Amino acid sequence: MAEIQHTVKKETWKYLVAGLFMVGIIMTPLVQISEEIDSKIITTGAIFILAIFLWVSRVIPASLTAICVIVLFAIFDVITFEQAASGLGNEIIWLVLSVLFMGLAVEKTNLDKRIAYSILSFSKGSVRVILLNLIVSAFLLTFLIPNAVGRLAVLMPIGKGIIDSMQKEAGENIGKSIMLIVTYAPYVTTVALLTGASGSIYATGLFESMVGYSWGYLNWMVVMIPLVLFVLLALWIIL
């Protein structure tokens, strides 16, 4: 009972703080610190602080918080609604969404694990080939799972199973090598594809706004995949 009351009080405080932030945002148009600082600057800062608080506290779902930020910018005339929502029409956003849906389907059907196990079946007990096949699996999973943590979640139990079955014969070094590959390779491969990580999306947006160059999915692959393959090959050679 005491735990329930503590949880209720904690949630109440979250809603109270969120309400105070909203009152502060409503009052910001009336605040004038100096002639050089426009009230819209203060309103923008207040909205961003509110968004960060809502994301951290999880008073409402993160997706709803994002929508609220767009709406608040329009309501308080910081920017127009068209400008605030313009990023949602970017083709990269829909590309990422489609890959996320595909990744969810892959995970539900265990296709990712089947691919990884199929690749490892070619190892025939060779430690070097096992390490190489783990790296290849991490690279191929990038096309199916647009999330490094998701790829790590697939490879970790596979790597642990290999360690448990081979550590007595091959020694402790195989365990260290496999753990390095399983934790490092999924993050190296994030830059291989435009949909491999959220940072790639930000990079394309920055390129388009500052340089005027729009990255395509194929263009990004042509530039980044050789670099990723070089790093992965170097990782395999070092291990």
Q: What is the pLDDT of residues 96-123, one digit of tens each?
A: 677 667 767 777 777 767 777 777 777 7
Q: Smallest Cα–Cα separation from 53: which of 20, 7, 4, 9?
A: 20
pLDDT value for 4: 47
- 82 and 97 co-located in one domain: no
* Extended strands (E) in 35-138: none
87, 112, 138 — which closes off a domain? 87
Model's pTM, two decimal places? 0.62
Range of the domain at 151: 91-238
34 forms beta bridges with 37
Q: Is the pLDDT of residue 8 over 50?
A: no
- 122 and 198 co-located in one domain: yes
pLDDT value for 20: 63
Q: Is residue 6 part of a domain?
A: no
How far is it, in rounded angstroms, from Cα 182 to Cα 122? 18
- 82 and 148 co-located in one domain: no
Q: What is the DSSP letter of 30?
A: G
- 107 and 59 co-located in one domain: no
pLDDT category at 148 given cuts 50, 70, 90 is confident
- 76 and 191 co-located in one domain: no
Q: Is residue 138 part of a domain?
A: yes
How far is it, in rounded angstroms, from Cα 70 to Cα 48? 11
Q: What is the pLDDT of residues 9-63, one digit of tens each?
A: 556 666 666 666 666 666 666 555 555 566 777 778 778 887 887 787 777 787 7
- 95 and 65 co-located in one domain: no
For CA atoms 203, 205, 207, 209, give the dihedral sign. Answer: negative
Residues sharing a CB contact under 8 Å with residue 141, sequence separation 6 or more, in sequence order: 112, 115, 116, 151, 154, 155, 186, 189
How far is it, in rounded angstroms, from Cα 211 to Cα 184? 32
Q: What is the pLDDT of residues 67-83, one digit of tens each?
A: 888 888 888 888 887 77
